[in-house]
Structure formats: C-alpha cells, structure tokens
C-alpha cells in the first residue's frame, strides 16, 4: 500500500507541475533570465519525479524547489567565476613574471659558473685539482696529498688559495 501512496504523491506532484508549467517557466525566467530556463525546468522536472512522499501544498513546494535550483545555479556560477579569476590571476602572474625571472636566474647562474671556472683556472692546475678532489669528490686532504705527490701543507695552501679566489668572486656578485 505504501508503494501505491508514493505513486499517487509523485503523480499528484507531477500533475501539478505539468498543469502549472507556464507559471513555473515564468517564475524561473524572472529569477534567472531566459538563458537557463530550459535547463532549470528539466532539472526541476527530474527532481519532482524523485519526491516520494505526499505534499500537502504541491505548487508552493514546486516553487520552493525552483527557487533553490536558481540559488544553487547562482552559487555554482559564482564559485566558477571565482575559480576562473583565481586561475587567470595565478596563470597571468606565472606567465608574465616567472618566465623572465627564470631566464634571468639562468643567466646569472651561468655568469657565476663562468666566474668560478675562471677562478679555478687562475689558481693553477694543481690547486684546481686539489679543490675538485676535496669539494666535489669528497676526498680527504691527506689522500689528495698522496695522490698529487705533495705535502699536506701544500694541499692546504692550494685549497686556501682557491677559497680566497672563490670568496672574491662571491663578493663581486654580492656587490651587484
């Protein structure tokens, strides 16, 4: 018997919707303009068919449903607009500010690398080799001395020489 009551309730609400369709269309057109009316009417029709209980005053109930649909649509459009604005703002900032910054950063990095290479070359082949073995390969100074066939104090002096040159390179870039 309950299934039959649900069918009667749905049929009654659907019958009211069908009978008062023009009023509902006008209500929706006034609330949201003519652009979305067909979509909203269709969506409202689908929602009306899902109601499975008896509605005492079906027409006001349908108008409340329509009003909520319009509000949901406005909120959705507003949220979409905010997301689009945020996306365009971020994308615009990244595309205009980031690309030149990345290019500039690369250029500065190349200039610094060239300056470091020149400083290493200016320190001499033995000092340059000692620096590379110590700082890049992680070799201990005692092992470097054995490998290069020099004393430990010579390796220390060579490293100090390279560090001084690199420090002067760093200071020139810090001034810029």
Residue 98 pLDDT grade (very low, low, confident, very high; cuts 50, 70, 90): low
The whole-angstrom distance between residue 128's C-alpha and the CA centroid of its chain comes to 44
Residue 16 pLDDT grade (very low, low, confident, very high; cuts 50, 70, 90): very high
Residue 151 has pLDDT above 50, yes or no: yes
What local confidence, expressed as pLDDT, does residue 176 receive? 65
Rounded Cα distance between 131 and 64, Å, is: 80
- Reading the block at residue 74, the tokens are 């406005």
Residue 1 has pLDDT above 60, yes or no: no
Check residue 132 and report its DSSP letter. Answer: I
Mean pLDDT of 69-80: 88
Give me the percent of the chain exceeding a pLDDT of 90.
Answer: 42
- Reading the block at residue 114, the tokens are 């060239």
Residue 2 has pLDDT above 50, yes or no: no
Task: Show the domains of the chain with their CATH numbers.
Answer: 2-80 (1.10.1740), 98-175 (1.10.10.10)
Mean pLDDT of 52-63: 91
Residue 162 has pLDDT above 60, yes or no: yes
């Amino acid at each position: 018997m309950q299934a039959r009551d649900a069918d009667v309730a749905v049929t009654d609400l659907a019958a009211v919707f069908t009978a008062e369709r023009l009023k509902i269309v006008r209500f929706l057109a006034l609330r949201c303009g003519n652009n979305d009316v067909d979509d909203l009417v269709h969506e409202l029709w689908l929602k009306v068919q899902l109601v499975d209980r008896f509605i005492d005053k079906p027409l006001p109930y349908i108008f409340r449903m329509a009003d909520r649909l319009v509000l949901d649509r406005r909120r959705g459009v507003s949220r979409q607009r905010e997301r689009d604005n945020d996306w365009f703002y971020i994308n615009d900032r990244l595309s205009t500010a980031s690309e030149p910054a990345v290019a500039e950063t690369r250029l500065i990095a190349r200039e610094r690398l060239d300056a470091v290479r020149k400083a290493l070359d200016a320190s001499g082949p033995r000092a340059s080799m000692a620096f590379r073995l110590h700082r890049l390969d992680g070799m201990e100074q005692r092992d470097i001395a054995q490998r290069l066939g020099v004393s430990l104090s010579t390796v220390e002096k060579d490293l100090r020489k390279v560090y001084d040159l690199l420090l002067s390179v760093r200071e020139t870039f810090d001034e810029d």
